[in-house]
């Protein structure tokens, strides 16, 4: 009888333990990666493509087991291309327990949130922010793209090579750090070249009716041989359309900020022949990129653009770093010490400040396609 009681007692305790185990263990907690970018409004093409690329890279990692058995979860926060909103978005991701943040997508937003990232020691891995103001700092910001100084220099070289004598630079102050930096680089690079340069800043936030602005610039300054547009895809497309509508027949140059499918679609024949300097070739024959492109098309129905590729690269760096991270070390130190990562189109190599230098190519829009200009 006493044995039965003891057995009943053991069964009861066992039952209670099983219930407790069932209640307490509901699988491993996922690793949260944040994504901070503008996914709404007129600048959203950058953020949407970057998010999709990061999302797919994470889904592919999760399908192959995640990070040491833990699934990776992408937490999204929209910076609306507004510094205050970007700071709120950063704090939202921090509260969500993000171990690193993919983003921001633009230099202005990166500069807005960087002090908070430095304070929280929460690593920002930007796919596209390229301002030199973010360079060579021992901070909590790294990027998988090169600094834009080289972009400005390349564009200057192309302009000189085509024999232009006059140049208009339309640049949007809404991403001031990037656009002013590019304008300055162009000016410096073309100094002494004999090319007359007219800088035409505008703010897309204040007004997007550029008709009068373009007309006035052409009327007052005369029609230039070449125009560089430093703006988002929508604004760059509008400016190109207006320039062509107003009779501009010279060469057009753009920056990575507008090198998206939305620009090609919206600029129409006005964008034909526009030249970019970039380091990411969407027609690359890299097997890894081709495979990723196929998967991206299957997942989102469209071909990935360079931003999607960079978003994926940033996510790959973050996940590889998390996989290699050991207790007592930071993710930033782990990534910097690892130095080399296999990106979608080849190796990414970080310096001690988390800067990544990549070879640039000359791209041209030809028949509605972005192709490497031989």
Interacting residues toward other proteins by CB under 8 A? 1-2, 5, 8, 12, 15, 39-42, 44-45, 47-48, 51-52, 59, 73, 76, 78, 208-209, 211, 233-235, 237-238, 241, 244-245, 262, 264-272, 299-302, 368
User: Least Å distance between CB 350 and other proteins?
Assistant: 29
What's the gap between Cα 310 and its chain centre?
6
User: Least Å distance between CB 129 and other proteins?
Assistant: 19
Nearer to other proteins, 121 or 265 (CB): 265
Nearer to other proteins, 238 or 259 (CB): 238
Nearer to other proteins, 188 or 269 (CB): 269
User: Least Å distance between CB 40 and other proteins?
Assistant: 4
Nearer to other proteins, 302 or 372 (CB): 302
CA angle, 163 as apex, 158 and 169 as ends, to 5°?
60
Nearer to other proteins, 5 or 64 (CB): 5
User: Least Å distance between CB 298 and other proteins?
Assistant: 8
Nearer to other proteins, 107 or 233 (CB): 233
User: Least Å distance between CB 44 and other proteins?
Assistant: 7
User: Least Å distance between CB 39 and other proteins?
Assistant: 4
User: Least Å distance between CB 209 and other proteins?
Assistant: 7
User: Least Å distance between CB 12 and other proteins?
Assistant: 6
Could you tell me if 123 and 100 are in contact, meaning their C-beta atoms sit under 8 angstroms apart? yes
Nearer to other proteins, 234 or 316 (CB): 234
Nearer to other proteins, 301 or 328 (CB): 301
Nearer to other proteins, 214 or 314 (CB): 214
SS (HEC) of the chain: CHHHHHHHHHHHHHHHHHHHHHHHCCCCCCEEEEEEECCCCCCHHHHHHHHHHHHHHHHHHHHCCCECCECEEEEEEECCCCHHHHHHHHHHHHHCCCCEEECCCCHHHHHHHHHHHHHHCCEEEECCCCCHHHCCCCCCEEECCCCCHHHHHHHHHHHHHCCCCEEEEEEEHHHHHHHHHHHHHHHHHHCCCCCEEEEEEECCCCCCCCHHHHHHHHHHHCCCCEEEEECCHHHHHHHHHHHHHCCCCCEEEECHHHCCHHHHHHHHHHHCCCEEEECCCCCCCCHHHHHHHHHHHHHHCCCCCHHHHHHHHHHHHHHHHHHHCCCCCCHHHHHHHHCEEEECCEEEEECCCCCECCCCEEEEEECCEEEECC
Which residues make beta-bridge pairs with 228?
A: 169, 253
Q: In 235-259, which positions are buried (b, 16+ CB within 10 angstroms) versus exposed (e)?
A: bbbbbbbbbbeeebebbbbbbbbbb
User: Least Å distance between CB 206 and other proteins?
Assistant: 13
Could you tell me if 99 and 31 are in contact, meaning their C-beta atoms sit under 8 angstroms apart? yes
User: Least Å distance between CB 178 and other proteins?
Assistant: 18
Nearer to other proteins, 367 or 374 (CB): 367
d(CA 156, CA 185): 9
């Amino acid at each position: 009888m006493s044995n039965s009681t003891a057995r009943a007692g053991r069964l009861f305790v066992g039952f209670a333990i099983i219930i407790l185990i069932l209640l307490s263990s509901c699988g491993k907690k996922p690793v949260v990666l944040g994504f901070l970018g503008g996914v709404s409004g007129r600048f959203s093409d950058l953020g949407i493509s970057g998010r999709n690329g990061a999302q797919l890279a994470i889904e592919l990692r999760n399908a192959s087991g995640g990070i040491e058995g833990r699934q990776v979860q992408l937490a999204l926060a929209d910076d609306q291309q507004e510094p205050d909103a970007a700071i709120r978005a950063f704090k939202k991701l921090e509260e969500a327990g993000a171990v690193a943040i993919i983003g921001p997508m633009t230099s202005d937003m990166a500069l807005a949130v960087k002090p908070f990232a430095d304070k929280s020691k929460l690593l920002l891995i930007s796919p596209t922010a390229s301002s030199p103001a973010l360079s060579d700092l021992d901070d909590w910001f790294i990027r998988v793209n090169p600094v834009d100084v080289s972009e400005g220099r390349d564009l200057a070289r192309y302009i000189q090579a085509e024999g232009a004598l006059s140049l208009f630079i339309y640049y949007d102050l809404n991403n001031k750090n990037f656009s002013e930096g590019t304008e300055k680089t162009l000016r410096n690079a073309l100094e002494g070249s004999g090319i007359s340069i007219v800088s035409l800043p505008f703010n897309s936030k204040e007004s997007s009716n550029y008709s009068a602005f373009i007309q006035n610039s052409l009327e007052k300054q005369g029609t230039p041989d070449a125009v560089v547009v430093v703006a988002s895809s929508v604004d760059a497309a509008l400016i190109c359309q207006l320039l062509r509508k107003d009779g501009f027949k010279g060469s057009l140059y753009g920056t990575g900020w507008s090198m998206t499918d939305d620009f090609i679609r919206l600029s129409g024949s006005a964008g034909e022949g526009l030249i970019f300097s970039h380091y990411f070739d969407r027609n690359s024959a890299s097997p890894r990129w081709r495979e990723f492109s196929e998967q991206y098309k299957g997942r989102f129905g469209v071909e990935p653009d360079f931003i999607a590729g960079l978003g994926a690269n940033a996510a790959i760096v973050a996940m590889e770093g998390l996989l290699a991270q050991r207790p007592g070390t930071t993710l930033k130190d782990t990534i910097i010490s690892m130095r080399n990562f296999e990106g979608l189109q080849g190796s990414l190599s970080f310096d001690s400040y988390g800067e990544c230098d990549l070879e640039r190519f000359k791209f041209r829009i030809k028949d509605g396609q972005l192709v490497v200009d031989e």
